Structure 1
């Protein structure tokens, strides 16, 4: 009996020893893999920084190159244009994070300065044009994509900045905290197609609306929201409405 017990204890000790050995080996392998991963990430980071540093001017000035660079980084979970709090070493080494915030400030400048005439709603192409004019030649070319990204950084301000799709590939930027209803979205889409002009008759013929619905939608935009102007001397219908955010301005 003692002999069998001894064998059993020895086997148990060997099993415990084997388990500790496997655990130590597993730990060593895991640490080696972690070390290798860190080394690879360091190499990748160095290569990415070198690429971005070499092409920094192109990234800042060429919207197509910038978009391609952003897409490449997005696939690996890196945001090269994030601000100092989010971008960390990007903002410190490449100074690209400040570019995004600078653009955001310029967008706010244009939106606020045009709010009196458009009620806080501006067509995307018009916004890009006015911001580009504000930046000047030295500021480089910006694209719609850049504006959309910057507006996302303005969201925490709670000022209502938002990109709105009004159909047919048209986008508008809202800079006041209000919610557009479906009828207003339809009016904006038609106004964009008509150079800013819209009327009750146009809504009735294009959308098969009842005259009462068309009148209510336009009067709400005029009196409640301040998004359009009344033209009571329209040559076609006598009365029409003009949506400034859908009009093109020469400045």
Structure 2
């Protein structure tokens, strides 16, 4: 008797677990269905919003930034394809692809003088001049969005911060923590640095030379032996505010 009761109890427990699993799966399916329905509704509303405010999205950089943020909340990428609703109705994809080409043109133009590093605001100003006064206004945010799409070309295009400045890198060189530390140190010394100043970071001579050699080889740093100081100066043109003025 006891054995039969035990088997019966196990059987009931197994059935109970299966019922709970079925209920759980049903709840998950229903919840997923509701989420998908909400996303479809949100996307439809977003499309209606885009149609209604098409002119503002195209002409107003700040408005365009808010539109991009709304798209990202539901995983919609207006730049994912040059076909479909977003491109055909808004021309958003074409706008950013054209901007990406202009970014490449400016970066290539000044690479010989900045070594492939240029401040984001400076890059934006050059692109504005290239586009002319009759073109739609662009912002730093627009340039950042386009650069994020250029990453498909490899690690040649990247953005990193030096204190409050955003620097655009357009060469396929991986800058490590030491390289970034040198740029930060140079930023605090008006765009230049000496080996002695780097030694204060606790670095030995070999470490200093290894870091500076990479930056010099890539053209990101320039040597100045004519300075008033007795030490060799290493200048970083990307950190000069007036280096890239036409």
Normalized against structure 2, the TM-score is what? 0.74
Give 1:99-178 correspondences, 5 Å limit.
Answer: 99-158=95-154, 160-166=156-162, 168-178=163-173
Structure 2, unaligned stretches of length 5 or more?
A: 1-29
Residues 1-251 of structure 1: pairs in structure 2 closer than 5 A: 37=37, 41=40, 47-85=45-83, 88-158=84-154, 160-166=156-162, 168-205=163-200, 207-222=201-216, 224-248=217-241, 249=243, 250-251=245-246
Residues 132 and 119 of structure 1: CA distance in aligned 2, closer, same or farther (over 3 Å): same
Distance 2:125 2:65 in 1: 18
Tell me how large the CA RMSD over aligned residues is. 2.9
Give the stretch that moved more between structures: 208-217 or 122-131.
Answer: 208-217
2:232 is paired with a residue of what secondary structure?
Answer: strand
Distance in 2, Cα, partners of 1:192 & 1:125: 16
Return the index of the structure with the highest Cα Rg: 1
Q: Shift in Å at residue 152 of structure 1?
A: 1.9
- Does the 8 Å contact 2:198/2:208 carry over to 1? yes
Q: How many pairs are equivalent?
A: 213
Deviation of 1:133 after TM superposition, in Å, equals 2.0
Query: What displacement does 1:111 show?
Result: 0.6
**Structure-1-length-normalised TM-score:** 0.73
1:192/1:51 Cα in 2 relative to 1: closer, same or farther (>3 Å)?
same
